């Protein structure tokens, strides 16, 4: 028997059958429905299909998620999930153990369990997508905060040089926005990640290279601020764009540049370790599952 883990994203719902050690047995995905009724139908169908081979269900989703009560206060880019009692509803379709967790926090938990934050007492995961998700490991535990909003990095303020433009960091650190702007510069199909990073690697477009470097510098500034505030040892980068090694390399370069430019910063703080998430875009599935394991273990004690 395995576990069903579900990662609800703005574009796709990713699903995985996973064993107790975190090994993927099978993964698949489907487009995310845009109404609550269609979402319910999708989840019911998936649980029904897998019920003979699972003994628990885990879920990650965007927004403010009260993991203690299984309640979704805000659903990020999915308005139909706002103020939805997910755990209570799941109990109407199955009696299997269930846990739900914010997606950024799930990424951090996965990496701390068996990924690139394993053995790290104070670290974080930063997930680059439509906005910027985050999860904090502080003093060897996942820090969620009293309102389950710790690590909501999109809402940090970054003063815009242009009056009237958004002030929150999620606007500047959006991987989706970066790809959209880059594909416009290159006059290629929207969301053509391969064309964007091929152009960057080949230095075939000055404008796209400049956009890329500026984007990575914004992310490096964010990581620097997190390090200074929380004394982190390591930060791992997730999200679909994290599969691009050149992204991680450029963030590391921009971080080093910032330390050189601000001599007191470099002299005062040890270098931060920056890596990709070990499980890249699958971290959310694993982290949600580990949350389920912790809740099951706590109920037994």
Record the pTM.
0.90
Q: How far is CA 49 from the centre of its chain?
A: 27
Sequence ranges of the domains in the chain = 2-106+281-300, 120-277
CATH topology identical between 2-106+281-300 and 120-277: yes
pLDDT tens, 88-138? 999 999 999 999 999 999 999 999 999 999 999 999 999 998 889 899 999
Going by C-alpha positions, the residue among 38, 28, 48, 110 that lies closest to residue 81 is 38
Going by C-alpha positions, the residue among 211, 215, 221 that lies closest to residue 262 is 221
The predicted structure's pLDDT at residue 235:
98
Owner of token pair 């059958």: 17
The predicted structure's pLDDT at residue 164:
67
What is the CATH number that goes with domain 2-106+281-300? 3.30.420.40
Average pLDDT over residues 261-290: 94
The residues, any chain, with a CB within 8 Å of residue 141's CB and separated by 6 or more, are none
Other Cβ atoms within 10 Å of 233 Cβ, number: 17
The residues, any chain, with a CB within 8 Å of residue 165's CB and separated by 6 or more, are 171
pLDDT tens, 29-83? 999 999 999 999 999 999 999 999 999 999 999 999 999 999 999 988 899 999 9
For residue 195, is pLDDT > 80? Answer: yes
Class of domain 120-277: alpha beta
| Segment among 49-63, 167-181, 182-196, 223-237 with least mean pLDDT | 167-181
For residue 154, is pLDDT > 90? Answer: no
């Amino acid at each position: 028997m395995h576990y069903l883990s579900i990662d609800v994203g703005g574009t796709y719902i990713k699903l995985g059958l996973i064993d107790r050690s975190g090994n993927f047995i099978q993964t698949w995905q489907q487009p995310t429905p845009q109404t609550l009724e269609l979402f319910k139908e999708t989840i019911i169908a998936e649980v029904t299909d897998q019920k003979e081979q699972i003994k628990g269900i885990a879920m990650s989703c965007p927004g403010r998620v009260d993991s203690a009560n299984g309640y979704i206060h805000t659903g990020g880019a999915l308005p139909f999930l706002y103020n939805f009692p997910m755990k209570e509803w799941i109990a109407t379709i199955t009696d299997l153990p269930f846990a739900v967790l914010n997606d950024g926090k799930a990424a951090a938990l996965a990496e701390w369990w068996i990924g690139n934050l394993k053995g790290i007492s104070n670290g974080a995961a930063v997930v680059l997508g439509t906005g910027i998700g985050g999860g904090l490991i502080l003093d060897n535990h996942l820090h969620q905060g009293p309102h389950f909003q710790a690590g909501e990095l999109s809402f940090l303020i970054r003063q815009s040089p242009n009056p009237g433009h958004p002030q929150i960091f999620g606007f500047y650190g959006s991987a989706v926005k970066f790809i959209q702007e880059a594909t416009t510069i290159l006059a290629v199909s929207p969301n053509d990640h391969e064309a964007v990073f091929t152009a960057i690697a080949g230095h075939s477009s000055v404008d796209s290279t400049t956009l890329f470097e500026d984007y990575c510098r914004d992310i490096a500034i964010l990581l620097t601020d997190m390090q200074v505030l929380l004394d982190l040892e390591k930060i791992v980068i997730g999200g679909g764009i994290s599969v691009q090694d050149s992204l991680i390399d450029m963030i590391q370069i921009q971080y080093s540049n910032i330390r050189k430019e601000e001599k007191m910063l470099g002299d005062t703080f040890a270098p931060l370790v920056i890596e990709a998430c070990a499980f890249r875009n699958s971290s959310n599935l694993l982290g949600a599952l580990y949350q389920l394991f912790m809740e099951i273990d706590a109920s037994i004690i």
